[in-house]
C-alpha cells in the first residue's frame, strides 16, 4: 500500500508542479507585457518591471493552485486508466475509496499551502508591490515632465518647471520647484509658507538598497519663507537631493492589502467578501480534487482526455458562481452567513454524488 501511495502521490505532484508552472508562466507573461508597455511609455522605470511582476507570483499561485491540482489529477488518473495501471491496482485490492482518501490527503496538504498564501503571504507581498508601484509611478511622472510648462503634483502642493530635457531624459536643465506643506499652518496658526528651489540641472537616481527614487539637483539655491514677509532663508548648494513623492495607493487596492485578522468580525460587506474569498480558495482545492477523481475515470479506448472537456466546464461554472456570489456579498444582495458558502456546498454535493455513482454505493446498499 505504501509503495502504491508513494507512486500515485509522486505522479500527481509531478503533474501538479508542471501544470501549475506552465499556467503561472502564461499569466506572468501577460503581466510582464502590461508593465513592459508602461515602461516603454515612461510610466514605470524599466529596472523595476521584473521586481513588480515577481511580486505577483504568490497572488497568482493562490488562484492557479486549485486549477493546477484539478488538471493534474485528471491527467494522472486518466493516464493510469488508459494504460490499465488502475485496473491492475484495483485487482490487487486498491478500491476507489482508497484512491479518494489518498487524493484528499494530497489535496489537504496543498490546501494548507494555499491557505498560507491567501491569508498571510499575499496581503504582505501585495503591500510591498503597491509601494514599489507607487515609487515607480512617481518616477514615471518625473520622467514625463515636459519642458517649458508648469506641472503640479500632490494636489497642487508641488509645482515643477524645467527649461529643457536632454536626450533619453537623463538630465533636466533649468529646474524650478515650488513646494508647500500639506498642513499649511503650524500649531500656532502661523503660515508655513513655501519652499522654492532653483538649479541649473538635475537628474533622477535610484537607491539600490531601498528602491526609493531621488531627484538630485546641482548648482542652485533653496529659498524658504512666507510670501510678503522679509523673514526667509536662502541656501546655496552644489548638490541637493530630495525623495520623489510617492503616488498614493488607490482606494480599490486597499482591501487586498488588509491583514486577514483585521477582517475577522467586521460587519462591512467588502471585508466579509474578502475574508470569504481568502478562505474559499483553499476549500476549492479539496472540492475540485474530490470532483476530479470520478471524472478522471475513462475507458482505455476513450483516451485520457475524454472527460477533460466536461471537467473544464464544471470548473468554469464553479469559478464563475464563486465570483458572482462574492460580488453579491459586496453589494449586500446575499447575507454574509450565506455568502459564497452555498456555491461550495453545491459542488461538494456534486463531488459526493459522482463518488457515489462511481463506487456504486447506492446499488450495493439497496440491492
- 0.85 cut: is pTM over it? no
d(CA 66, CA 114): 8
Q: What is the pLDDT of residue 209?
A: 66
d(CA 244, CA 247): 9
What is the CA angle 116-121-123, rounded to 5? 120
pLDDT digits (tens, 9 = 90+) for 343-364: 999 999 999 998 888 776 545 5
Q: What is the pLDDT of residue 275?
A: 92
pLDDT digits (tens, 9 = 90+) for 206-220: 666 665 667 788 888
C-alpha cell at 259: 491583514
d(CA 237, CA 234): 10
Q: Is the pLDDT of residue 72 over 60?
A: yes
Residues 6+ apart with CB under 8 A from 294: 351, 354, 355, 357, 358
Q: Is the pLDDT of residue 184 over 70?
A: no
d(CA 167, CA 151): 20
Main-chain dihedrals φ then ψ at residue 266, nearest 5 degrees: -75, 145
User: What's the whole-number mean pLDDT along residues 295-301?
Assistant: 79
Residues 6+ apart with CB under 8 A from 32: 49, 53
Q: What is the DSSP track for 222-278?
A: EEEE-TT-S-EEEEEEEEEEEEPPPPPPPHHHHHHHS-HHHHTT---HHHHHHHHHH
CA dihedral 198, 199, 201, 204 (to 10 degrees): -70
Classify residue 45 as left (phi > 0), alpha (psi -120 to 50) or beta: beta
pLDDT digits (tens, 9 = 90+) for 116-145: 999 999 998 988 887 777 666 655 655 556
User: What's the whole-number mean pLDDT along residues 12-17?
Assistant: 95
- In this prediction, residue 157 has a pLDDT band, given cuts at 50, 70 and 90, of confident
- In this prediction, residue 80 has a pLDDT band, given cuts at 50, 70 and 90, of confident
Q: Is the pLDDT of residue 27 over 90?
A: yes
Beta-bridge partners for 177: 160, 197
d(CA 292, CA 72): 9
Q: What is the DSSP track for 53-84?
A: HHTTHHHHHHHHHHHHHHHHHHHHHHHHHHTT
- Is the distance from CB of 295 to CB of 354 less than 8 angstroms? yes
Q: What is the pLDDT of residue 69?
A: 96
pLDDT digits (tens, 9 = 90+) for 224-263: 888 777 677 888 888 888 766 554 444 445 777 788 888 8
Average pLDDT, the chain: 82
Amino acid at each position: 500500500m505504501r509503495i502504491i501511495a508513494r507512486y500515485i502521490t509522486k505522479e500527481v505532484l509531478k503533474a501538479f508542479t508542471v501544470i501549475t508552472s506552465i499556467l503561472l508562466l502564461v499569466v506572468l507573461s501577460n503581466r510582464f507585457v502590461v508593465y513592459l508597455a508602461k515602461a516603454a511609455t515612461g510610466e514605470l522605470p524599466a529596472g523595476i518591471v521584473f521586481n513588480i511582476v515577481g511580486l505577483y507570483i504568490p497572488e497568482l499561485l493562490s488562484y492557479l493552485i486549485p486549477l493546477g491540482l484539478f488538471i493534474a489529477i485528471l491527467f494522472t488518473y486518466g493516464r493510469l486508466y488508459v494504460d490499465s495501471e488502475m485496473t491492475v491496482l484495483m485487482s490487487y485490492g486498491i478500491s476507489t475509496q482508497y484512491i479518494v482518501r489518498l487524493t484528499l490527503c494530497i489535496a489537504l496538504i496543498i490546501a494548507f499551502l494555499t491557505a498560507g498564501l491567501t491569508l498571510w503571504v499575499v496581503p504582505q507581498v501585495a503591500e510591498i508591490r503597491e509601494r514599489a508601484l507607487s515609487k515607480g509611478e512617481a518616477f514615471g511622472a518625473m520622467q514625463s515632465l515636459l519642458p517649458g510648462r508648469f506641472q503640479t503634483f500632490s494636489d497642487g502642493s508641488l509645482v515643477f518647471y524645467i527649461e529643457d530635457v536632454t536626450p533619453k531624459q537623463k538630465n533636466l536643465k533649468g529646474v524650478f520647484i515650488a513646494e508647500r506643506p500639506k498642513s499649511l499652518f503650524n500649531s500656532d496658526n502661523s503660515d508655513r509658507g513655501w519652499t522654492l528651489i532653483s538649479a541649473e540641472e538635475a537628474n533622477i537616481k535610484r537607491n539600490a538598497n531601498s528602491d526609493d527614487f531621488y531627484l538630485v539637483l546641482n548648482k542652485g539655491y533653496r529659498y524658504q519663507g512666507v510670501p510678503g514677509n522679509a523673514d526667509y532663508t536662502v541656501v546655496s548648494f552644489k548638490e541637493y537631493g530630495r525623495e520623489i513623492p510617492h503616488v498614493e495607493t488607490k482606494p480599490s487596492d486597499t482591501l487586498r492589502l488588509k491583514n486577514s485578522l483585521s477582517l475577522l468580525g467586521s460587519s462591512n460587506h467588502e471585508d466579509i467578501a474578502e475574508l470569504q474569498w481568502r478562505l474559499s480558495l483553499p476549500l476549492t482545492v479539496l472540492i475540485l480534487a474530490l470532483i476530479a477523481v470520478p471524472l478522471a475515470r475513462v475507458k482505455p479506448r476513450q483516451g485520457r482526455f475524454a472527460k477533460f472537456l466536461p471537467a473544464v466546464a464544471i470548473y468554469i461554472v464553479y469559478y464563475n458562481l464563486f465570483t458572482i456570489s462574492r460580488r453579491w456579498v459586496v453589494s449586500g444582495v446575499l447575507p454574509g452567513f450565506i455568502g459564497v458558502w452555498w456555491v461550495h456546498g453545491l459542488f461538494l454535493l456534486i463531488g459526493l454524488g459522482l463518488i457515489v455513482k462511481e463506487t456504486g454505493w447506492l446499488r450495493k446498499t439497496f440491492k
